[in-house]
Amino acid sequence: MSPLPKRQQNKLDRERRILNAALKVFAETGYSGANMDAVAIEAGVSKPTLYQYFQSKEALFSAMMLGERDQMLDVFEHPSARGMVADLMEFAWDYADTVLRPDLLSLARLIIGEVQRFPEIGRAYQEVGPDRLLRGIMDYLEGQRRAGRLAFDDAELAAQDLWGLILSAPRTQALYMPDRTPTRAEIARYLNNGLRVFLKAYSTQPETDLAELVRLIADHSLNQVQHDD
Amino acid sequence: MSPLPKRQQNKLDRERRILNAALKVFAETGYSGANMDAVAIEAGVSKPTLYQYFQSKEALFSAMMLGERDQMLDVFEHPSARGMVADLMEFAWDYADTVLRPDLLSLARLIIGEVQRFPEIGRAYQEVGPDRLLRGIMDYLEGQRRAGRLAFDDAELAAQDLWGLILSAPRTQALYMPDRTPTRAEIARYLNNGLRVFLKAYSTQPETDLAELVRLIADHSLNQVQHDD
DNA sequence: TGAAAACTTAACTGGCAAGTAAAGAAATCC
DNA sequence: GGATTTCTTTACTTGCCAGTTAAGTTTTCA
């Protein structure tokens, strides 16, 4: 079954449990407010064991943050088959579903709240989060530009615009009001509108693409109703 | 000279000094990390005096946050005389200059970092910050729509788009990287592009308005050079 | 089965920080 | 100028929490 000897496997399991517990506790109360006893209890581990795995509170915090960061690396794929508008719509929902996940919002709040004390972490996340995301969007948009379906000079600005149009509003709101998680319908409202404005400003065939968008939105809301619990 | 007796005046002065000191200290290290001795020293006041003005750390924090909030109320005016594009440009720079101010960024980080512990404060700021700002933009855009210069169905979405196009990118970056304050030139890049896209998507006379925007951008960068120190 | 490794329990140290107490000094007002 | 209020100094109490120690228990592996 297990490829590793039990000793090492246990060690890895515990380390993972500790890191998960650390994320939870730090995210709830911030770095200074977090309590190492609480981390130990949450991880189901005694405090001396905790300190055997991580030499200090700060070391645990850094390890947890960089570990979380590395998990974000392999998130976004972008298949491209059913046309640009459908691709953009799929992007948009993927990004929304990721960026608005409660655990990632907590993490973002933690980073933002601690960034003055740990500036490296802010930069580290900027690189693998927003920057990487942006590069993915840019690459795709560049491809569509070369194919003659979009028109722009500066791919970075185009990508920033897409992001800002689609997710700036719901994400900002979610950051400030953790209890008011936006519903799928609210997200859809921002997202559909954002795509519409983006296509209007950047598409080389606005009429065609906007019609396609309208069609996809109708499809999507049908699917939503079907998938509702 | 002073309309109040000195006793009361002193009291008010000290309270203000304490609140300012509290803002600085809390913003630097967060709620849990902040030290009441540091607040007292920063305010030039002894600790017992501090506790005579505010009964506890939490009371001081709340008073400071709500006080700062109330200061934001009377910020934005919007004169309208020299045409829509010029108005939008002035809005944009006003918002940028406000939203990217280091002290307000610190405050935003503090709110976001503490919002899970103090949810009321998140809501309170959402109401007087973003919501109020948004309403101002909406009112203006509505006026332009009635005058036939803009076209849209949903004023809130249009306002959110303007905001997202103009300030989402530099503000997010500034939140995550306090040391990398964007330069005027970088802000101008996002801002001019955002206005361009907004006009392209929402103006009823895109060609005219975009030409006007180009003219204004040229003017503005001339002024910038003149005003450089 | 028995030794080694790793974990648990429980108590402890040391330091920091919130909040308080008491006595004296300074400003304010009449 | 003297009484009152308010602030300062200094020192203290109290409680929390990061990090440790030591003795005993469980798990793993050979």
B54 lies in a domain?
no
What's residue A229's pLDDT?
Answer: 45
**Total number of domains constituting chain B:** 1
CA count, 13 A, side-chain hemisphere, A13: 10
Angle at B126 between CA B194 and CA A126, to 5 degrees: 55
pLDDT higher than 70, residue B72: no
| Cβ–Cβ < 8 Å for A50, A18 | yes
Is residue A199 within 8 A of residue A152, CB to CB? The reply is no
As ranges, strand D nucleotides with an atom below 7 A of a protein CB are 5-11, 16-22, 27-30
Q: Using the Cα atoms of residue B204, residue B206, residue B212 and residue B217 in order, give the sign of their dihedral.
A: positive
Q: Tell me if A11 is assigned to some domain.
A: no
* Other beta carbons less than 10 A from residue A197's beta carbon: 25
Q: Tokens at residue B122, please?
A: 């998140």
For the stretch B175-208, pLDDT in tens is: 999 988 899 999 999 999 999 999 999 999 999 9
Mean pLDDT of chain B: 88
CATH number for the domain including A125? 1.10.357.10
Residue B137 within any structural domain of the chain: yes
Q: What is the pLDDT of residues A94-120, one digit of tens each?
A: 889 988 989 889 999 999 999 998 888
User: Which domain range does residue B167 map to?
Assistant: 65-228
- For chain A positions 31-70, those within 8 Å of chain B (CB to CB) are 31-33
Q: Check residue A126 and give its pLDDT.
A: 86
| pLDDT of A73 | 56
Q: Which nucleotides of C are covered by protein (CB under 7 A)?
A: 5-11, 16-22, 27-29
Q: Is the dihedral of CA B31, B36, B41, B45 positive or negative?
A: positive
Give A118's contacts (C-beta < 8 A, 6+ positions apart). Answer: A31, A61, A62, A65
Residues B94-98: what's their mean pLDDT?
89
Assigned domain for A146 exists: yes
Structure tokens at B109: 């980080």
The whole-angstrom separation of Cα A164 and Cα A169 is: 8
Tell me, yes or no, whether B39 lies in a domain.
Answer: no
Q: Do A160 and B168 touch (CB under 8 A)?
A: yes
Q: Which residue reads 């120190």 in tokens?
A: B229
The answer to whether residue B227 scores a pLDDT higher than 90 is no
Rounded Cα gap, residues B171 and B184, in angstroms: 13
Nearest to B112 among A117, A175, A197 (CB): A175
Domain assignment present for B96:
yes
Contact A113, B113 (CB under 8 A): yes
Q: What is the residue-level pLDDT of chain A in tens, covering all 229 positions?
A: 444 566 677 788 899 999 999 999 999 999 999 999 999 999 999 999 999 999 999 999 999 998 888 776 555 556 567 889 999 998 899 889 988 989 889 999 999 999 998 888 888 888 888 888 888 889 999 999 999 999 999 999 999 999 999 999 999 999 999 988 899 999 999 999 999 999 999 999 999 999 999 999 998 777 765 555 4
Residue A159 CA, chain-centre distance (Å), reads: 16
- Does the residue B120 lie in any domain? yes
Count of positions (residues) in chain B = 229
Determine the pLDDT at residue A98: 86
In a domain, A58, yes or no: no
CA geometry: angle A139, A142, A147, nearest 5 deg: 130
CB < 7 A contacts with chain D (nucleic strand): A 5-8, 10, 34-37, 47-48, 51, 55-58; B 7, 10-11, 14, 44-49, 52
